[in-house]
Amino acid sequence: MADENPTKSPPETPASPPEKTHFPAAEPISVTEKETPLDPSPTSQEQDQKEPIQQEHLTPEAEKPQKVPESQGSFKEESNKVIDLSDPEKKSLDELKTHVQELGEAQIYGVPLLVDERSDVILLKFLRARDFKVKEAFLMLKNTLKWREEFGIESLIEEKLGDDLDKVVFTDGFDKDGHPVCYNVYGEFQNKELYKKTFGDQEKRNNFLKWRIQFLEKSIRKLDFSPGGINTIFQVSDLKNSPGPGKTEHRIATKQALQLLQDNYPEFVAKQVFINVPWWYLAFYTMISPFMTQRTKSKFVFASPARTAETLFKYIAPEQVPIQYGGLSVDFCDCNPTFTNNDPASEITIKPATKQTVEILVNEKCTIIWELRVVGWEVSYSAEYVPRTEGSYTVILHKAKKMSPTDEPVISMSYKITELGKLLLTVDNSTSKKKKLLYRFKVEPLCD
């Protein structure tokens, strides 16, 4: 919450009558976004202030980030409606259903097989994982059913496994296509106590595996397995400060988990986005890439730390992206925000050396509440309210201030409007980089 106290600023006395600001008749609230270039010739004092900011971006050659792998990201989900399948695909599905009848009554992921059309969606996952080779798909299905029984999946769902890993893997929001988004934050294992508690010995690694399978199984059972439903998950893997290949215990547990997921949960990933990719992962990916199918690689997207927010925003609306990744979504357990994931945010790209002004025209008395952020800041931000009545004072709500990356990521403010006018939110980007501005607001009736 910004701590600037609103102050009234009288207009300077002009040499000639001032030009009047026009407030045309409009909806109760209307918004205009304006972009203007900054003065290309700064004063010497301004130049002195800018130089330290510029120096912060000078990176020694040895510390320059490694190039991330080329993102594929071209995968598009196929339809699960039988009418949309090709004739060979329909034939494979019918053959697989005939084989499944041999299994008698069976269910998987909470869905009974061969009872309704949801079964077709499940069987198509196994067929696609095996390129519609019926015998291979049926073998994979039988092995999965056998593993689920041996692992005790149905009883595992009800077990209480604690909440130590809630910040390691969690779901938050949905992507633009409606897929739930799952975040895997491996940097949490920098906590030595958590690392030892999770991977210290084989029993602890087994418990981690049970927790990870339980989390996935619960997530899957929330999906919609109807032919037109959302039945895959958007995965984000944050590799910042992730345990490297030298951490043997973590590597073993992760490899085992990935193998089980690959063998028993086919085609549940809509897209896999890797962010904050470290150098060692580049070597690892280069090594394993030749052994991956083109279908698998087509789901991968890679983002460097500087492009994390930009990349996520391509697929996920800003209000759905967690605040630590450049968005506006917050942990509802830690605070009680005015805004939720259901309140859409506007997104603006601010060009280098430009000023962006968001003008919110207010045509009724109310309380207006807004929140705003510029990803990474390094810009100046100000807010003021200009009443419509001639001769009224401009109210300074937030004095122009240079915001640094260490400042609060999101500014939240409100203002009670008793005089009609306009709210001006201004961001000056004097850097040589594009900046991403996010904002949203809502209006509440003015209480007497």
According to DSSP, the residues that pair with 387 across neighbouring strands are 421
Closest CA to 343 of 332, 333, 329, 353: 329
Q: What is the pTM of this model?
A: 0.85
pLDDT of residue 251: 84
pLDDT at 27: 67
> Which distant-in-sequence residues (6+ apart) come within 8 Å of 240 by Cβ?
186, 187, 275, 276, 278, 305
| DSSP one-letter string for 224-253 | --STTS---EEEEEE-TT---TT-HHHHHH
Strand ranges (DSSP E) for 27-179? 29-37, 107-108, 111-112, 169-174
Q: What 8-state DSSP symbol labels residue 159?
A: -
Q: What is the pLDDT of residue 155?
A: 96
Q: Between the CA of residue 344 and those of 170, 184, 318, 329, 401, what are the distances in Å?
A: 22, 25, 8, 11, 26
What confidence score (pLDDT) does residue 336 get?
52
Q: Would you tell me how many other CB atoms lie within 10 Å of the CB of residue 343? A: 14
pLDDT at residue number 65: 46
Phi/psi-derived region of residue 114, left when phi > 0, alpha when psi is between -120 and 50, beta in every other case: left
Can you give the pLDDT at residue 330? 83
Query: Can you give 288-340 as a three-state secondary structure string?
Result: HHHHCCHHHHCCEEEECHHHHHHHHHHHCCHHHCEHHHCCCECCCCCCCCCCC
Residue 118 has φ and ψ, to the nearest 5°, of -60, -30
Report DSSP letters for 99-110, one per residue. HHGGG-S-EETT
Cα radius of gyration rounded to whole Å, the chain:
27
Sorted by sequence, the CB contacts under 8 Å of residue 322 that are 6+ apart come out as: 172, 173, 183, 329, 330
Mean pLDDT of successive 10-residue stretches along the chain, which has 448 residues? 56 42 57 84 44 35 47 78 96 97 94 95 97 97 97 95 94 97 95 94 94 96 96 96 86 88 95 88 77 84 91 97 94 66 95 97 95 96 96 95 94 95 97 96 86
| 312: CB partners within 8 A, 6+ apart | 236, 273, 275, 303, 321, 325, 326, 327
Task: Tell me how many degrees the CA angle 345-349-353 measures, rounded to the nearest 5.
Answer: 140
147: helix, coil or strand? Answer: helix
